[in-house]
Amino acid sequence: MWSESRRAFLKTAAATAGAALGISTNHGVASDISPAVGVLFPQGRIPLSFIIDDSTCLVNMGHFCTPQFEAAWPDREIYQLPWRKWPREIPDTFVREFGEWCATHHVKGKYSLVPYPACVGRLDLELPGWSRRELLHSLSLVRELMLPNWDIHPEMITHTRVINLTTGHPLPEISPATMENSYPQQKKSVDELTAYLAYALQILKNCDIPCEGITTPGGFGNMVKSELSLAVQEAVRDVYTAEIPHYFKYIRSGDESTEPTLEHTSGIGTDDVRLTVNVPAGTGDWFGGWQGVREPEPARYANDDATAGRLVDLIMRGQPAVMLCHWPGMYCNGTKNGFHAFKRVVEALERRFSDRTIWMKPSEMARYWAAKELTVLRPLSMAYR
Q: Cα(153)–Cα(133) distance, rounded to whole angstroms?
A: 23
Question: Can the peptide bond before residue 42 be classed as cis, meaning omega within 30 degrees of 0?
Answer: no
Please spell the DSSP secondary structure of 146-196, one letter per residue: ITTTEEEE--SSSSSBPB-TTT-SB-S--SGGGBGGG--SS---HHHHHHH
> pLDDT value at position 35?
59
Angle, alpha carbons 100-103-108 (nearest 5°)? 125
Q: Cα(342)–Cα(330) distance, rounded to whole angstroms?
A: 8
* CATH H-level superfamily of 51-377: Glycoside hydrolase/deacetylase (3.20.20.370)
Q: Is the pTM of this model over 0.75?
A: yes
- pLDDT reading at 382 higher than 90: no
More confident position, 135 or 373: 135
How would you label 10-47 residue by residue, b for 16+ Cβ within 10 Å and e otherwise?
bbeebbeebbebebeebeeeeeebeeeebbebbeebbb
> pLDDT value at position 104?
98
> pLDDT value at position 383?
52
> pLDDT value at position 221?
98
Q: What is the mean pLDDT of residues 140-152?
A: 98
> pLDDT value at position 380?
63
pLDDT in tens, 266-285: 999 888 999 999 999 999 99
How would you label 354-371 residue by residue, b for 16+ Cβ within 10 Å and e otherwise?
eeebbbbbbbbbbbbbbb
pLDDT in tens, 206-259: 999 999 999 999 999 999 999 999 999 999 999 999 999 999 999 999 999 999
86: closest CA among 105, 67, 99, 103? 67
Q: Where are the domains of the chain?
A: 51-377
> pLDDT value at position 385?
54
